[in-house]
Amino acid sequence: MRARAPAAGVRPMTCPSLPAGFDFTDPDIYARRLPVDELAELRRVAPIWWNDQPIGKGGFNDGGFWVVTKHKDVKDISLRSDVFSTYVNTAIPRFPDDMKRENIDMQRSVLLNIDAPHHTRLRKIISRGFTPRAVGRLRSELDQRAHNIVKNAAAQGSGDFVEQVSCELPLQAIAGLLGWRKKIEPNCFAGPTK
């Protein structure tokens, strides 16, 4: 969560096993593994922890962000958009270092980055299309689409599983919920995973 850094003279909680400079947004960590052990330790000894970053790292000029590791705290924060905002710096923890501020600001139109009460109104509208009944009406169509996706991927023999299989069904499901026709789907699906 991006928010104000600790006040001058205030020392944030430390985590004994994290090496100096450890950054939860470092993509090299995720290329090797998930930081499960580090997050577990934070939950035990520093459930709200300041992740220090050099100014400009990740496209932000705020010196870092707060890592919130306990469910109760995350829930409390998510209900207090009067105090905590994803609109200001978005919910994306790291952009390219040279990302321009206006490009970060463009992310504000994504539902995840909209604060209440506007977020609440939009979510109510959107969630109607994702009720069990609404999704249930698409079941046979989605079953057929899933079968075709797997059949097509198998026929190719090899390829990128994420691109050919795991991304394809959710994209097609959303297209179905939006009422998009099959003939325009390839144009729609050409770029989202790139």
* Domain ranges for the chain: 27-110, 133-189
Query: What mean pLDDT comes out for the span 150-155?
Result: 93
> Could you read off the pLDDT of 20-57 as tens digits, one per residue?
889 999 999 999 999 999 999 999 999 999 998 898 88
Amino acid residing at 143: D
Instruction: Tell me the three-class secondary structure of 55-75, residue by residue.
Output: CCHHHCCCCEEEEECCHHHHH
Confidence (pTM): 0.61
Q: CA nearest 84: which of 116, 61, 106, 55?
A: 116
Cα Rg for the chain, rounded, in angstroms? 21
For 26-140, strand residue ranges (E) read: 48-52, 64-68
